[in-house]
Chains A and B, each alone.
Chain A
Amino acid sequence: MTLPSGLPVEVADAEPLARFIRQKSQYKPSTMQARGDLFMPPRGASELSVSRVGTLSVPAIAELGRHVVQQAGNTLKGWCILETKRVRSIRKFGVVSDEPDDQHHYHAHIIGFPVDKSELMEAADDLAEAASLVIPVAD
């Protein structure tokens, strides 16, 4: 079974996931390392939006990123990549596809974030440590 994007419902361990950056404060500019802030779920949520970008070129990832962040009224600053297998090896995180309509192609969720704030920050730092260096996008 396939999703509207043509991707399979099951997210494979080898798939790269992109987390799009909306604020420059979400990474350390001098080293391009992601901060834990980039992986904090929205208020009241226990999942985090990512995009499945294994089949996309770099310009296509940038175009997808602009589309994603514009939906929330933000500007794309860049992205970093996480490997699904690595995410699943951290804590009890899961990765599930989520394409409810044509506006959410390639969309997936990292699920299983803790509720307690200090544990949430530790979990976000776990993901930041596992992420690639930030690929910036010119303003």
Chain B
Amino acid sequence: MQSTLPIDLPLRGRRGPDHHLTDDLLTSSTGRAIRAINEDQRQMRNWSMTFDPPARRELKRALREMALECSIANWDGEGAAPVEQTTLAHALRFVDALPMGLPEPEPGVHPDGELSFSWIGSKGHRLSMAVGPTGRITYAYRRIPDKLNGTAWMGDRIPSALLDHITTFATRP
């Protein structure tokens, strides 16, 4: 039975009984089942023609088309790597994780087989991202005079720093 914490015990910075419950849920058969259902729903939404607004649907269609066109090595005639199915899966997952209401990116393909996204705002304001087969996201952001570049990893959510950059194209294009 779950114990009750005395009211005078400071909670901040400590793992309370609810954390134990969360840990149990994540590793239990129930937790695994919930995660599997969530993944099924994500995949269903991914291929859905109903849930996505037209711009999002068009973005996914373009990604699938590019991935298919560039699925054979040397697709650019200059030795490019093929786009792998896992790369497409990660890119679609990235699109699914984009909050609605933000500007949709322009999709593309890099010679190393990574799928790319770019947001182009006013002069000197750009964000370029590339998603690879391992879920690695490489990015370069500029809002003159500031420039940043780096690497992040795709999970269930877009890393918050990247999301902040994307949001600037809606708030200060």
Contacts and interface: CB of A to CB of B under 8 A. Distances in A.
Interface residues of A, number: 29
Interface residues of B, number: 31
B140 A118 contact: yes
Interface in B94-134: 106-112, 116, 118, 120, 123-124, 126, 128, 130
B149 A122 contact: yes
A38 B118 CA distance: 12
B71 interface: no
A134 to B, nearest CB: 12
Contacts of A37: 108-110, 116, 118, 128
Interface in A7-65: 22-23, 25-26, 28, 31, 33, 35-37, 40-45
Contacts of A23: 108-109
Contact of A35 (B77, B78, B111, B118): B118
Interface string A119-139: 101101100110000000000
Given A44-B79, A121-B149, A122-B149, A25 B112 contact: no
Contacts of A45: 78
A122 B142 contact: yes
9 contacts: A25-B107, A25-B109, A36-B118, A37-B108, A37-B116, A73-B77, A117-B151, A125-B142, A129-B126
Interface of B: 62, 66, 76-81, 106-112, 116, 118, 120, 123-124, 126, 128, 130, 138-140, 142, 147, 149-151
